[in-house]
Amino acid sequence: MRIILASSSPRRQDLLRRIGIDFEVIPSKVVEERIECEKDPVEFVKCLSSKKAKEVYERTFEERLVIGADTIVVFKGKIMGKPKTPEEARRYLKALSEESHEVYSGVYFVWDGGEHFIFDKTVVWFRKLPEEIIDKYISTGSPFDKAGGYGIQDLGSVFVEKIEGDFYNVMGFPIGKVWEFLYKKGWWK
C-alpha cells in the first residue's frame, strides 16, 4: 500500500523516516487561512488535518493511506498560528516568555474504506527570553513556518525550560501515536 504524507514539513518527514516508514510526499494544496474551523484546539487540528489528508486522497489513486497533520500553539486560550511578519513573531515570542502554553497536533489518516484521527497535547514552559535572542532567532527566518513562531528542534530549543508530554508533538508530529496506529493496522513492518 502507498503511504502518502500530505505535508511538506521536513520535521514530519524526518520523524516518519526514523521509524522506518516507506512513504512519498504529496503536499496538500489546502490554504489554511481560507478554512474556517472551530476554535476548540482539538477540533481545530482535526478540521485542518482532515481537510489536508482528504484533499490529497482525492488527488491520488491506487490503494493508499494518506496522512495529514496540523499543529497549533494555544496561549491563554487563543490559537497562535505561524507568524507572517517579524513583528508578529516578536509579539508571539515576547508573550510566551516566562509563560506556559499548549501545543496540539492532530494527525488524520484516510485510506480506502476508513478514516481515523489522533491528537496529542504537550505543555511547554519558556524561560525569560532576552530581546537579543528573540531578534537573533527572528533573523534566522525560522519562526515563519512554525506555529507559535518557534521550533523546539532548532535554536528555539533554548527558549524551553521544561515540557510536560511528548517532545515530538512539539515538533509537530506525535510519532509514537502515529507508529502505534500504523502498527495496530498492520501497516508498519
Angle, CA of 142, 146 and 150, to the nearest 5°: 60
Of all residues in the chain, the percent with pLDDT exceeding 70 is 100
How many whole angstroms separate alpha carbon 65 and alpha carbon 112?
Answer: 7
CATH of the domain at 93: 3.90.950.10
Which has the closest alpha carbon to 104: 147, 144, 145, 143? 147
Secondary structure tally for the chain: helices H, strands E? 6, 7
Active site members: 70
How many domains is the chain partitioned into structurally? 1
What residue numbers bound the domain in which 84 lies?
A: 2-185
Per-residue pLDDT tens digits for 138-188: 999 999 999 999 999 999 999 999 999 999 999 999 999 999 999 999 999
**pTM (predicted TM-score):** 0.95
Per-residue pLDDT tens digits for 23-59: 999 999 998 877 888 889 999 999 999 999 999 999 9
Which has the closest alpha carbon to 114: 70, 69, 65? 65
